[in-house]
Amino acid sequence: NAGVTQTPKFQVLKTGQSMTLQCAQDMNHEYMSWYRQDPGMGLRLIHYSVGAGITDQGEVPNGYNVSRSTTEDFPLRLLSAAPSQTSVYFCASKTGHETQYFGPGTRLLVL
Amino acid sequence: AQTVTQSQPEMSVQEAETVTLSCTYDTSESDYYLFWYKQPPSRQMILVIRQEAYKQQNATENRFSVNFQKAAKSFSLKISDSQLGDAAMYFCAYRSGRFTDKLIFGTGTRLQVFP
């Protein structure tokens, strides 16, 4: 199993550009989520999904869009990037009451 | 709303010694999970230990153990026989016992290990 994979590892964007952060898992987990990590802070939940076709907002959803068309994939879209979205983004997945597995993270810099 | 507080931004320990990292949380729920995650410079989030609130026994994983005080809402991590590879950021996290994906993290404690 590859576990949770994220691409790209690092990305530089200009303000106003759009991009999609990819997340995939091969463990057949029903739960998937996106977190962001800013300096001096723990991870904060952006969006999550409890299964294909079902998504919901977390603590800091503004400026981000998600969809879940398959069990395996959960992409995060930035429609118009802003410097405040400079962060490290983590995708995670789990099943039932089990523990979350985290991806390696994507470092995003918005200029 | 639930909150998690880590009041020690930095801690240090000598190799082979023992160190305890503190975590307190606030919740009105009775069913929940608590976690300690380790984040080395690679940024990978690595699960260290997990505690179910309904279990009175403190969780242990090799050199890592917790002191779970449910009434005091305290969840500290003890690292015994510290090793250089233990140097990292450590995050305490809370998750409701309901079927949910939402983890609430503390701000982290940076642990330095000196030879």
Of B93, B85, B90, B82, residue with least CA distance to B111: B90
- Nearest CB neighbour to A58, from listed B42, B102, B105: B102
Q: Is omega for the bond preceding B40 within 30 degrees of 0, making it cis?
A: no
Token match 């690595």: residue?
Answer: B46
Q: Which chain B residues contact residue A100 at CB under 8 A?
A: 47, 101, 103
Query: H or E element: which one contains B112?
Result: strand B109-114
The angle subtended at Cα B54 by Cα B50 and Cα B60, nearest 5°, is 35
What mean pLDDT value characterizes chain A?
94
Interval A45-70: pLDDT, tens: 999 999 999 999 999 999 999 999 99
A39 touches chain B (CB under 8 A): no
- Model pLDDT, residue A1: 73
Does position A97 have pLDDT exceeding 90, yes or no?
no
- Model pLDDT, residue A95: 87
Q: Which chain A residues contact residue B90 at CB under 8 A?
A: none
pLDDT band at A42 (very low <50, low <70, confident <90, very high): confident
Question: d(Cα A8, Cα A58) in Å, to the nearest integer?
Answer: 23
How far away is chain A from the Cα of B15, in angstroms, using its nearest Cα?
A: 26
- Model pLDDT, residue A14: 97
- Model pLDDT, residue B107: 95
- Model pLDDT, residue B16: 97
Q: Which chain B residues contact residue A97 at CB under 8 A?
A: 33, 97, 99
| Chain Cα centroid distance, residue B38 | 8
- Model pLDDT, residue A60: 95
- Model pLDDT, residue B111: 98
Interval B30-78: pLDDT, tens: 899 999 999 999 999 999 999 999 998 999 999 999 999 999 999 999 9
Does position B100 have pLDDT exceeding 80, yes or no?
no
Q: Do A44 and B33 touch (CB under 8 A)?
A: no
Q: Which chain A residues contact residue B108 at CB under 8 A?
A: 41-42
Locate the DSSP E strands across A28-97.
31-37, 43-51, 54-57, 64-66, 76-78, 87-94
pLDDT band at A41 (very low <50, low <70, confident <90, very high): confident
